Structure 1
Amino acid sequence: MIEPIIDYIAGNKYLFAAAIFIVFYVLSELAVLISEKIFLRFAKKTKTNLDNVLVKRTSKPISLMLVAIGIKLSLASISLPEKAAFIASGISSSFFMLVLVYLIYSIVDTLLKHWGVSIAKKTSSTMDDHLVSLLSKMLKLASAIAVFLLILNVWGIEIGPLLAGLGIGGIAVAFALQSTLGNIFGGVSLILDKNVSIGEYVALDQDTMGVVKDVGLRSTKIQTFNNEIIIVPNSELANKRLQNIAQPDPSARAVISFGVAYGSKIEKVKSIVLKEINKIEGIEDSDEEKKPFVRFIEMGDSALLFKAFFWMKDYKEKWRAMDEANTLIYNALNKNKIEIPYPQMDVHVKRR
């Protein structure tokens, strides 16, 4: 009973082509099912997570690959006119090349990221994390270029002369892309030189300060305290004076200026203020060079001027600590009956 049906389908080229496509489509669905139900189950039993990720990332490309093969074989089984056959073959081959590069990209990118994570765990620096991210983006760009060149070849456009022409046109392209290439090399330079890392607080000038959110191929994104994202070209960032608050370590110094009235006991003022500063949570007191101290700076016009210096272990806590320090100093001076003067002017009016 089945043989007549098979003979009937085989005798009709369109039904035969449809049957080929259906078979490969079913195989593609089976490939996904086998990957998720069988291969992934075995992968989860291994010590490494690499095979789990590989199975997940390659199941879809492999499924699409089978669909692409099915389309190509089904079209090949139909005797189309020459022009239509050329177009159909070009479209199916282009789709096949796209899926092939997608599969290769998925495998290489997975291996690259796995390598990056394993290396990053062994180091305290975040440079390797950023470098892997940059390499991943460059791999994506290279894959797109590869697809473009392969599709050109599929449609009969000679790649050889095109690549040879790139040698001559490369100079013109380099000039045209000078800014873009400068940004890319600037991004690589920032990562390799360890100038900035994601999450660090940086300042370019008074108007551009914030936390680094991303270091990309062309630009770096900085989130300001107003919750705005400022995008700075890498070439500009690499050649500009950059203040990185988080380096060489996360500690930060705070300075509090204050004044007391003439006649106040200097040593008593220092003792009171120093005692209050040491109450601040997160203050650096383990390093002798960073322990808090108070200095009598100047005899001003209307007050004895002091400065209190202290370090915070984390620069992110600096502004909170300065607010707390000002509050503690003000309350302590008032409690000890030490006057905090303010500038005043005496005006003498002469009567005629």
Structure 2
Amino acid sequence: MSDIMQSWWQAISNWAAGTTVTWVDLLVSLIILAAAAAVAFAFSRLFSRLLLRVARFSAGDLDDTIIAAGRGPVTAFIILIGAYLAITVPLTLAPAVHDVANKVASLAAIFIGAYMINAIGSAVLRWLEEHLESRDAANTGGWALPLARRGMVIVVFAMSAMVSLDILGINISPLIAGLGIGGLAIALALQPTLSNLFAGTYVITEGVVNEGDYIEMENGVTGYVVDVSWRSTRLRTWTNNLVVIPNSRFAETIITNYDQPQEHVNVFLTCGVAYESDLQHVEAVSMDVMRQVEREHPGVVKDYGVYFGYDTFGENNVDFWLFMQASSRLASFEVRTALIKQLHARLIDEGITINYPVRTLHFPDGWTPDGQPPTREQAARSRRPSTPPQPQGPLPADTPGGGGDGPDV
């Protein structure tokens, strides 16, 4: 780089020592510079304001943002063109000095262009951030868009620097190869971090999880979403503890969101009555209880309605279910509690029985209810055949087998 600067200075010095520039040439250069400054001032103060006024007639304000962001870079371009023309048109430059002027103008144009791209891109991303926040997507505007703005600045100016080096005649092929190898090494080293970053971006832009939602993960972790950052998602559990989940695992698991697609939660309650019960009467009582809860409890969605149905013949009862909707997940617990209490009290008042589960156990001979095997005496007693009682004294003569001398042989 120092050799290039020295060669430039040497070329300018040699030209200045042997130049034949007159005051007319200098006057023309000053006129061109003044004209460029006037055009730049007119664009910055007058034409850009006119564009802004015209843009206000459009539906959105994005065009206003783009015009305001591009005003400064365009003004700098006008001044740069004027300066280049003021040097190259009226003055008779040596080929080496003309080459220096071309390279300096190219470098300035590259960095002004990079500044323009960065200014307009940052303004557009900032506009998106503001509008996403107004639509309750604060997480997306909270960290993803600022991170994109910083990344855009690095990429744009890095590319500008490499193009500038190429213009100066510096071979950038080794630099690109080194950056490629270094980028691969950095990507491998930051693989978990990058995985969490892209997973977090996917979770937020998907829009299925927002701050304040109550979710349940596949592994049983439940809680309210406190924050979704670039690396992790934070949940607050029922015990008021904080659970930090890496976004890479959060994006791959199955999630149940109790606040989506809407906040209403269905309340499904099962019960059963004895087989001797009048099922028509049971249905009427259950519907009456649900309508009473619907009228009295503020957490019930009254437009949804109440529903009843028999399910199956159970082991001890005829099973049925009751179905209604609560306005939120917290209200569903209150609605379920009120429904159980009122249904239980009403079934008792109506004399309808809810059977308890009953089991009859049969044990082998000698086995005890505690599951212990029989002792030897108990086993022998259970296997010993019972003998009929023996009569006392001789049997009567008319009894078969009794008395006499037995049959003749």
TM-score interval, smaller chain: 0.5 to 0.7
Instruction: Report Cα offsets for 1:158-197 as digits up to 9, x if no partner.
Output: xx99997443210011111111111111111111111200
Q: State the partner residue of 1:295.
A: 309
Q: Residues 242 and 110 (structure 1 numbering): CA distance in 2 closer, same or farther, change over 3 Å? A: same
Looking at structure 2, the residues matched to 166 and 281 of structure 1 have their Cα atoms a distance apart, in angstroms, of 64
Q: State the partner residue of 1:134.
A: 143
Letter in 2 for 1:322: R
Q: What is the DSSP-based 3-state SS (H/G/I as helix, E as strand, rest coil) of the residue aligned with 1:277?
A: helix
Looking at structure 2, the residues matched to 348 and 173 of structure 1 have their Cα atoms a distance apart, in angstroms, of 72
Q: What is the DSSP-based 3-state SS (H/G/I as helix, E as strand, rest coil) of the residue aligned with 1:284?
A: coil
Q: What is the DSSP-based 3-state SS (H/G/I as helix, E as strand, rest coil) of the residue aligned with 1:181?
A: helix
Looking at structure 2, the residues matched to 226 and 304 of structure 1 have their Cα atoms a distance apart, in angstroms, of 38
Asked if residue 309 in structure 1 is aligned to residue 326 in structure 2, the reply is no
Letter in 2 for 1:285: K
Instruction: Report Cα offsets for 1:90-111 as digits up to 9, x if no partner.
Output: xxxxxxxxxxxxxxxxxx9999
Matches within 5 A, 1:20-31: none
Asked if residue 265 in structure 1 is aligned to residue 278 in structure 2, the reply is yes
Looking at structure 1, the residues matched to 239 and 219 of structure 2 have their Cα atoms a distance apart, in angstroms, of 14
Matches within 5 A, 1:11-22: none
Which of the pair has more CA radius of gyration?
2
Letter in 1 for 2:142: S
Letter in 1 for 2:234: K
Q: What is the DSSP-based 3-state SS (H/G/I as helix, E as strand, rest coil) of the residue aligned with 1:197?
A: coil
Letter in 1 for 2:147: M
Measure how far apart 1:314 and its partner are.
1.4
Q: Residues 206 and 218 (structure 1 numbering): CA distance in 2 closer, same or farther, change over 3 Å? A: closer
Looking at structure 1, the residues matched to 222 and 240 of structure 2 have their Cα atoms a distance apart, in angstroms, of 11
Matches within 5 A, 1:140-289: 165-205=178-218, 207-278=220-291, 279=293, 280-287=297-304
TM-score by length of 2: 0.49
Q: Residues 184 and 206 (structure 1 numbering): CA distance in 2 closer, same or farther, change over 3 Å? A: closer
TM-score by length of 1: 0.56
Retained in 2: the 8 A contact 1:302–1:342? yes
Looking at structure 1, the residues matched to 186 and 267 of structure 2 have their Cα atoms a distance apart, in angstroms, of 50
Q: Residues 189 and 261 (structure 1 numbering): CA distance in 2 closer, same or farther, change over 3 Å? A: same
Retained in 2: the 8 A contact 1:252–1:318? yes
| Larger CA deviation: 268-277 vs 323-332 | 268-277
Matches within 5 A, 1:97-108: none
Letter in 2 for 1:339: T
Looking at structure 2, the residues matched to 211 and 306 of structure 1 have their Cα atoms a distance apart, in angstroms, of 33
Q: State the partner residue of 1:321.
A: 335
Looking at structure 2, the residues matched to 273 and 180 of structure 1 have their Cα atoms a distance apart, in angstroms, of 55
- Aligned CA-pair RMSD: 3.5
Q: What is the DSSP-based 3-state SS (H/G/I as helix, E as strand, rest coil) of the residue aligned with 2:287?
A: helix
Q: Residues 333 and 118 (structure 1 numbering): CA distance in 2 closer, same or farther, change over 3 Å? A: same
State how many pairs are aligned: 226
Percent identity between matched residues is 25
Looking at structure 1, the residues matched to 354 and 122 of structure 2 have their Cα atoms a distance apart, in angstroms, of 64
Q: State the partner residue of 1:341.
A: 355
